[in-house]
Chains A and B, each alone.
Chain A
Amino acid sequence: MKNSYVYLGFAFTSLLTSCISEVDFPVSDKPIEEIMIDGDFTDQEGPHRLFLNYAAPFGVSRFKSVENAAVWLVDDTEARAQYLPVKVNSDTFYYELPRNSAMQGIAGRSYHVEITLPDGRIYKSVPQVLPQRVNADSIVLEGSVTTRVSTADVVIEERNAIVSVESVIPAGTEPFYLRWDAHSVFYFQELVKFGPFDKQHECFIPDLFNQQRVVTQEIAQKNGQKIRVEIGKKLIDYSFENSLYFNVIQRSINKETFDYWNLIAKVANPQGTVFDTPPASIRGNIFNEANPKEIPLGYFEVAAVDTIRRKVFNGVMGEPYFVLPYCSYANPWGNGPANHDECLNCIILKNSTYTKPHYWID
């Protein structure tokens, strides 16, 4: 009888877990000339950044920047402020409206961007009204155990922190449109070192745990009520061993921007199920006056922003989610190699820095 169960289970597992595997996709080597624009302007003091690049063929991981362009922010009184070029390194180039620029975002006013490329092409964004800000109230964490099938067809159990944000919706007759970004920064302390000149470093490691997840929400008829929106989940691993900050940026946006991000969510985050919306090219809010047929890629977002943070410690979600020490020496006398290289050199962790974030409170 037991065998029968195994057999039936096998049959249905095969059916229902289906499988997702990577396949080759033909990559074009044709140069791409389409411009992509990715920038924002908010009611915060800045700086505000705008990335101006060429799109890349599928399979190419680096976007070629457009340098020497003139980028201007224009408000509804035709006042102008320039985004200035910033070259961080050979890979990172953007335009920036500096902190405390003369032009500050004010709710109810409209803004757009004008870009003149070195070849004379001019792109503009559709003017957008900066919406009323909806403040975020708190970050809520809940533990969750999920299972998934690995690429080796092994069922893996994972513990995750489900990150939600709570907000009180202000009074008003019009619906509100919100979008969230979230990231975490965790604290990592190297093992105690015994050499006279060896320093035990402290590292701060940012983690864009929901980088590919677009979270948006339309809220209507909830005046004065508190809403809770799940904005992502973070794997509970050694990053939870010490302290960790969750940072959530809540953006109040207008309906056009909300619709745009919803489409991005559908295209960028397909689930691979039979119910996925068929993808298509997404038109943003950038246009070329001289050539209306051209569809520039990207978006210039005007948003009211509120940022909230929450610091958490090991076991904050209860005993089942407590994380055991990650680092230890290979021998009990506390010298020699450690079990992980980063335990003696935390800067090798991806995106690691010794610089403590400005909001970090010990």
Chain B
Amino acid sequence: MKKTLLTLLIAASVQIITAQNVLDKSVYLNLEQATVYDVLSALERQCGIRFCYDTAVLPWYQIKVVSDGKNLFKVLNKLLPPNGLAYAALGDNLFAVCQPQDRNSTYLKDLKQRWEAGAIEMPAFIKPLEQAAVLGMAHSSTDMYEVTGLLRDEESKEALAGVAISVGGENHKTLVTNTLGQFTVKLVAGEHLLTTYMPGYRESKMKLSLYDNGNIEILMAVKPEALQEVLIEGNRASNRFQNSLTGVEAIPMRTIKELPALLGEADVIKSLSTLAGVTSAGEGASGFNVRGGNIDQNLTLQDDAPLFNTSHVLGFFSVYNPDLIRSVTLYKGHVPAQYGGRTASVLDVKLRDGNLTKHHGQIGFGIAAGKLIMEGPLWKNKVSYMLGLRRSYSDWMLKLVPLAEGKTSSAWFFDGLSKISIRLGQNSTIAATAYGTKDYFRYGQAFGYEWNNRLVNVVAKHPIGAKIVSSWQGNYGTYKASYSVPVGINAFGLNNGLEYYNLGWRAIWVANTAHEVTGGIQWNTIKGLPEVLNPVGASSVILPANVRKDRGEDWVLFLQDEWKWSEKWRFSMGMRGVYYRNIGEKTVYTYGADQPQTVENIIDSVFYEKGNTVKTYAGLEPRLSASWRWRDQKIFKFSYNRMRQYAHLISNLVSPTPVDIWQVSNPYIAPQTADNFDIGYSTAWNDRRYELDADVFYRKTRSVPVFRNFANLLVNDHLETELLSGSMESYGAECSVKKKQGYWTGWLTYTYTRSLIRAKSPFADLTINEGNRYPSDYDQPHQVNVYAKYAWNPASSLSFNFIYRSGRPVSGPPRVYQVGGIVVPDYVARNNFRIQDYIRLDVSMNIDQNKSKISGVKRSVSIGFYNLLGRKNPYSVFFRRDANTYPKAYKLSIIGSVIPSLNITYAY
């Protein structure tokens, strides 16, 4: 025993002494954006040592390491503990790197054995994807040849824009692929090494033997999701635009999935409210508000097809299925000319294509809903499919609510999407998508809503020569809603909705490295479906009604040039021309001269047959954004955009109901016209570890429909009698700071926004707030968002989300009066009072387990707590007198406690 101990002691002493000598070695390193693995590899090369480790414990985010002669001991102590690691000497210049709790003899011995036996696999993603291409027969020459390259995703075969390509050799060059995923370069004959870089992708290396002009294709492979770079830069759109355009935000899908969400349902729309300048009226409120704009002033797209109601369960969730989405980009400042029809922002959601080479699937269960995702090739490398289904089970969960109303209530939603993508030849594609949503909500015997979206769209893309890609798109969609009161003397059913068509052609011409021109033509039409009211039951006294709806049609021509004038100056210039027609069938009422537009003052009417033009509007919408780069990391930006809106959501509620009408512009409801100004500044420091964006913005919108007091907006053939034409001014400043690397990542944003409305009428009775500016429903001057993520290993993270917003305005009564024995609050002005501030803290933990080697199934678990502080944030304040009491102020809180969540997803 003693002998054994003595032997071990001597061995250990030798190891320590040997290690001590090695640890004294000087290290010279200057590694930027390197992983721990990269640093350990560099140390092995420089110090003649070896490290062994389990790759699962290494963090794969990027760090910076600089050492100008420090000894290895200091370098390791600076490198490993901050990254959750420790080391131990194993002898023969061999060091173990492990988690601190594993630094025991059993683990280290086992690690050494597995390492030496080659049982620890290196992850494939740490190696570049290597490829080779040969153009022409090898010969000796100094001729120059032109190579046109196309960068594609290895699995989906999608063209990749914004990829950096480094061409090695004597004449080192760095190129970036254009919108079409292409690059062109002239090189001297010979061997060249092309290395490509793209956030979220493994590096690719192509050995090019160049002896003739020609085309090459370089494939890039996606890194495992858990190992991708974090935060904003993970999105290609972000990379391309963020530096030169104002107010463009892109949230990586991974961040959306990691954000704490209500009942754990990752939500695209709700996640937007973590960004600067984006708010919502609260939980259960549909839509979102950008820089103080109305909900309907945001164009919400899915693969360039509009959606008119993005809410599930009256706004608790949104209709976008995050598992099917490739990118989410929000244009809240500069909006390129190909987008239009709204005045505040554009939410551009792009769907993924199904995988062309492998079958994948997901099945997930959460508190509120379950999901099923399937995708794969129907014809390998030619045709793929993608199918996504979500269904909530809140209908049966409602039965658990101990209130009688809960037991007789029902609420559920469904959405389904299927997409077929076809590759025709090298660069041509056709994609067809069918999408549908369905919502059902019934509150006891009191009332019920149903609504659904249907959308079919087909997109065909094909190249014209090497520099132009042309694409055709057709969309057909419907939105239908119903509202019913099932029992009683006023029992009724109300149905309304709309259908819409879009046809468009667009071409992107990459003229040269300085200009990328996009042009196209669009035809859009929105037709209101008849609004039908029917009594329900024999005892109902409701009279049937059928209000026919008119149609709005616009023809659009647009041209946009992304112009890189110099290394410092970039411009994005566009012009959008719109010709709009309001088309019958429609009855246009005439009102008495110098009389307010009220039902009592109707003196005549004209009926326009189906297809007849009722009214036309036309206008140009200039779009300009300019950026000036000062030094390397400082960019000043400016933009001016004019935008027009021809369809308006007519609602007098903060959170529109599903049956609120989308009304197209007509003789009395002019198009909303907005002028948007934005001045921005962006900078980064500490090797882009930190980024700062600041914007000052101003938007004036004219012809905003403002509801009159007690407007009757449903089953109304003359909505102009319920509306005023107002103007809206929004202005403010945004500032966001992002930390993009390290254990802790996240962002902090502060926004100051005002959103003010003026609604005047020549008739004092109709004027709101005596014609003075008053805050809109969404005027929340101070907004603070903090999102922080702590990733203690590549697959596990803890996310925090904190939101502070000033209370939004509501109408409050300074006085009361009595009539018929009833004490009535008198609301002398609109939005003259603010509810309490909104404060919420959420937390979630996300764990992505490794794929099982036996079953091939990977499990992800997300646990969260929404509203961790348990605050009863007010949604609204109202004033009511119960029997025998004086009127009091009450607040309605949609969520009054902590809401836990649990989501489990299995993927293969």
Contacts and interface: CB of A to CB of B under 8 A. Distances in A.
Interface of A: 5, 7-9, 11-26, 28, 32, 34, 36, 38, 51, 53, 55-61, 63, 145-149, 155, 181, 208-212, 214, 217-222, 227-230, 261, 263-264, 266-270, 272-284, 293, 297-299, 301, 350
B424 interface: no
Contacts of B818: 36, 38, 51, 53, 63, 298
Contact of B541 (A209, A227, A283, A301): A227
B827 interface: yes
User: What are the 8 tightest A-B residue pairs by CB atom distance, in nearest-first order?
Assistant: A9-B400, A280-B709, A25-B889, A19-B896, A36-B817, A297-B817, A55-B817, A270-B878
B406 A16 contact: yes
A299 B652 contact: no
A56 B655 contact: no
B49 interface: no
Contacts of A278: 652-653, 707, 811, 830
A220 B489 CA distance: 12
Contacts of A350: 884
Interface in B862-886: 872, 874-884, 886
Nearest to A297: B817
A237 B849 CA distance: 60
Contacts of B217: none
Given A53-B818, A221-B543, A12 B892 contact: no
A221 B403 CA distance: 38
Contacts of B890: 20-23, 272
A162 to B, nearest CB: 11
A14 B653 contact: no
Contacts of A269: 880
Contacts of B490: 217
Nearest to B488: A230
Interface centre among A36, A211, A268, A270 (most CB of B within 10 A): A268
Nearest to A183: B821
A208 B402 contact: no
A142 to B, nearest CB: 12
A252 to B, nearest CB: 15
B827 A280 contact: yes
Given A227-B541, A272-B890, A263 B401 contact: no
A264 B895 CA distance: 29
A23 B819 contact: no
Given A214-B822, A272-B878, A280-B827, A13 B401 contact: yes
B812 A15 contact: no
B314 interface: yes
B425 interface: no
A149 B872 contact: no
Instruction: Give the most central of A9, A34, A51, A280: most B CB within 10 Å.
Output: A280
Contact of B367 (A8, A19, A149, A219): A8
A218 B830 CA distance: 29
From B488, B655, B877, B897, residue with most partner A Cβ within 10 Å:
B897
Nearest to B449: A275
30 contacts: A8-B397, A11-B900, A13-B400, A16-B398, A18-B892, A19-B892, A22-B888, A23-B877, A28-B814, A28-B815, A36-B819, A55-B826, A58-B815, A61-B886, A63-B817, A149-B403, A208-B883, A211-B821, A214-B822, A228-B489, A229-B489, A264-B819, A268-B824, A268-B825, A270-B879, A277-B652, A279-B879, A280-B811, A297-B826, A298-B818
A23 B891 contact: yes
A155 B403 contact: yes
Contact of B882 (A5, A12, A23, A212): A212
B893 A21 contact: yes
A234 B328 CA distance: 54
A278 B22 CA distance: 76
A99 to B, nearest CB: 20
A148 B812 contact: no
If over half of B's interface residues share one DSSP class (helix, strand or loop), that class is named, otherwise mixed; here it is: loop
Residue of B403, B821, B876, B898 with most chain A CB atoms under a 10 A cut-off: B403
Nearest to B886: A61
A113 to B, nearest CB: 14
B695 to A, nearest CB: 32
A61 B655 CA distance: 33
A172 to B, nearest CB: 14
Given A227-B541, A278-B652, A278-B830, 8 more contacts: A15-B899, A16-B401, A16-B411, A18-B875, A63-B818, A155-B403, A211-B821, A268-B824
A284 B820 CA distance: 12
A298 B400 contact: no
B800 to A, nearest CB: 21
Nearest to A28: B814
A283 B763 CA distance: 14
A8 B404 CA distance: 17
B819 A38 contact: yes
Contacts of B896: 14, 17-19
B316 interface: yes
A276 B401 contact: no
Contacts of B828: 281
A284 B489 contact: no
Interface string B680-714: 00000000000000000000000000010110000
Nearest to A220: B543
Interface string B379-404: 00000000000000010011011111
B401 A7 contact: no
B125 to A, nearest CB: 38
Nearest to B403: A147
Most interface-central of B490, B655, B657, B824 (chain A CB within 10 A) = B824
Interface string B205-225: 000000000000000000000
A24 B823 contact: no
Given A18-B892, A18-B896, A212-B882, A293 B764 contact: yes
B837 interface: no
A261 to B, nearest CB: 8
B323 interface: no
B765 A283 contact: yes
A96 to B, nearest CB: 16
Contacts of B830: 278, 280
B816 A55 contact: yes
Contacts of B657: 275
Nearest to B827: A279
Contacts of A17: 401, 403, 406, 896
Nearest to B765: A283
Contacts of A15: 263, 316, 894-895, 899
B77 interface: no
A293 B657 CA distance: 35
A309 B421 CA distance: 73
Contacts of B653: 274-276, 278
A261 B822 CA distance: 11
Contacts of B872: 19, 21
B448 interface: no
B882 to A, nearest CB: 7
Nearest to B874: A23
Contacts of A212: 822, 880-883
A29 B93 CA distance: 84
A19 B874 CA distance: 9
Contacts of B409: 16
A147 B541 CA distance: 29
Contacts of A229: 489
Interface string B839-878: 0000000000000000000000000000000001011111
B181 interface: no
A297 B884 CA distance: 22
Contact of A155 (B402, B541, B900): B402
Contact of B820 (A23, A60, A230, A264): A264
Contacts of B543: 220-221
B892 A281 contact: no
Contacts of B833: 25-26
A338 to B, nearest CB: 24
